[in-house]
């Protein structure tokens, strides 16, 4: 399974990128780092710069249809930058219209709000997004991991880095069922 990991050029929470990436690789999937610019992305450990990672593909030069699933890592700045990029928002929306599974953690649902795909869905996130999700027509819940099935699409969400183990196990299970 080819899985897009979409990030902005900076601001992604490193552990929310690296742990799901490793989990996908260990399960035999092909993770692909997609960003809004070529080159490298700058990850963060909360507010401190962490490692850089090479971009594999660029939004606008690749199609959502070339992937089987999407993972949206968090970080406060990452989804804020993504939701200001029309091509990134369209890329995310295409996964929903194409019926492919999506997983998002922490602040990543901000990008889902901008893509207008949370309406009538139950999801979780970092608590500060609660009002944004509700205002966008979603139902916010405070749970470690939430799987929402609507139509052909499945959405997996988690709240924070402490939820990564459950998040990774759940999105891998959901993605495997979709591929099967």
Count CA atoms closer than 13 A to 159's CA, side-chain side: 11
For residues 70 and 102, the answer to whether their CB atoms sit within 8 Å is yes
Residue 178: is its pLDDT beyond 90?
Answer: no
Which residues does residue 148 pair with via DSSP β-bridges, in sequence order? 155
Is residue 5 over pLDDT 90? yes
pLDDT higher than 90, residue 26: yes
Q: Are the C-beta atoms of 138 and 116 separated by less than 8 Å?
A: no
Going 65 to 152 to 27 to 106, the CA torsion angle's sign is positive
pTM of the model: 0.97
- Averaged pLDDT score across all residues of the chain: 96
Burial of 59 (0-12, 13-18, 19+ CB in 10 A): buried
Identify the pLDDT of residue 180.
63
Task: For 60-107, write each residue's pLDDT tens digit.
Answer: 999 999 999 999 999 999 999 999 999 999 999 999 999 999 999 999
pLDDT confidence bin for 153, thresholds 50/70/90: confident
What are the catalytic residues?
106
Q: What is the mean pLDDT of residues 143-169?
A: 94
Q: Which domains does the chain have, with CATH numbers?
A: 2-178 (3.40.50.880)
């Amino acid at each position: 399974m080819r899985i897009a990991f979409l990030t902005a050029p900076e601001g992604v929470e490193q552990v929310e990128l690296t742990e799901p990436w490793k989990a996908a690789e260990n399960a035999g999937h092909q993770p692909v780092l997609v960003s809004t610019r070529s080159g490298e992305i700058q990850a963060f450990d909360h507010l401190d710069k962490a490692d850089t990672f090479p971009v594999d593909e660029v939004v606008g030069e690749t199609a959502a249809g070339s992937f089987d699933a999407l993972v949206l890592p968090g970080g406060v700045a990452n989804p804020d930058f993504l939701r200001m990029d029309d091509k990134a928002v369209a890329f995310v929306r295409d996964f929903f219209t194409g019926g492919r599974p999506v997983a998002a953690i922490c602040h990543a649902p901000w990008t889902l709000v901008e893509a207008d795909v949370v309406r009538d869905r139950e999801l979780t996130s970092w608590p500060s997004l609660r009002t944004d999700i509700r205002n966008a027509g979603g139902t916010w819940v405070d749970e470690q991991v939430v799987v929402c099935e609507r139509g052909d699409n499945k959405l997996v969400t988690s709240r924070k880095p402490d939820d990564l183990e459950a998040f990774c196990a759940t999105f891998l299970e959901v993605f495997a069922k979709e591929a099967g």
